[in-house]
């Protein structure tokens, strides 16, 4: 019997990061001059359970979908991004623009991601949770009195 994987894959890549392919189908993209240009893009989803990421505009696959009139869903052939193993992409160094490994450091009491060049990797707002604004009901209650 095959063992079932549990847990998550520890990753230093987050949603919103700029990555470059270092292996696989998108690594072997060629430009009009015949020179290999690995695909660069933005991470739109990370699945830590399976160790995979989705990169915007990369690994495009076609999905055939039946129409469902009850749910107002149209049918047809749709193109979408496929999941890619996290080992096939590398984070882009903000200073050099090349693939880099990431390490964590404590700076000013905060845990931050740092590239090989020593440059701080900027935090994207796309993976931060937004705090919900709670309206105070006390002023409204006072006005109704």
Greater confidence (145 vs 45) lies with: 45
b vs e for 98-126, b when ≥16 Cβ sit within 10 Å of the residue's Cβ? ebbebeeeeeeeeeebbbeeeeebeeeee
> What is the CATH T-level fold of the domain 18-129, as seen in this structure?
SH3 type barrels. (2.30.30)
Task: Kindly report, residue by residue over 105-114, the tens digit of the pLDDT.
Answer: 998 888 889 9
Q: What pTM did the predictor assign?
A: 0.75
Q: What is the pLDDT of residue 116?
A: 87
Assess whether pLDDT exceeds 80 at residue 130: no
For the chain, give the mean pLDDT.
85
Answer yes or no: are the C-beta atoms of 43 and 16 closer than 8 Å: yes
Q: What is the pLDDT of residue 95?
A: 87
Q: How far apart are CA 113 and CA 103, in angstroms?
A: 6
Task: Kindly report, residue by residue over 54-67, the tens digit of the pLDDT.
Answer: 999 999 999 999 99
Assess whether pLDDT exceeds 60 at residue 138: no
**Cα dist from 128 to 4, 15, 99, 123, 124, whole Å:** 31, 10, 24, 9, 7
Assess whether pLDDT exceeds 90 at residue 81: yes
Task: Kindly report, residue by residue over 4-42, the tens digit of the pLDDT.
Answer: 777 777 788 999 999 999 999 899 888 888 998 899 999
Could you tell me the residue ranges of all domains in the chain?
18-129
């Amino acid at each position: 019997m095959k063992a079932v994987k549990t847990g998550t894959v520890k990753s230093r890549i987050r949603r919103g990061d700029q990555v470059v392919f270092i292996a696989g189908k998108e690594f072997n993209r060629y430009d009009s001059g015949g020179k290999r240009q690995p695909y660069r893009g933005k991470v739109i989803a990370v699945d830590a359970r399976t160790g995979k990421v989705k990169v915007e505009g990369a690994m495009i696959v076609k999905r055939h979908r039946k129409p469902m009139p009850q749910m107002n869903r149209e049918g047809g052939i749709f193109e979408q991004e496929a999941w890619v193993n996290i080992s096939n992409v590398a984070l882009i160094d903000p200073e050099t623009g090349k693939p880099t490994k990431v390490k964590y450091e404590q700076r000013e009491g905060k845990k931050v991601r740092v590239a090989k060049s020593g440059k701080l990797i900027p935090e994207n707002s796309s993976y931060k949770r937004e705090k919900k604004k709670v309206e105070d009901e006390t002023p409204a209650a006072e006005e109704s009195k």
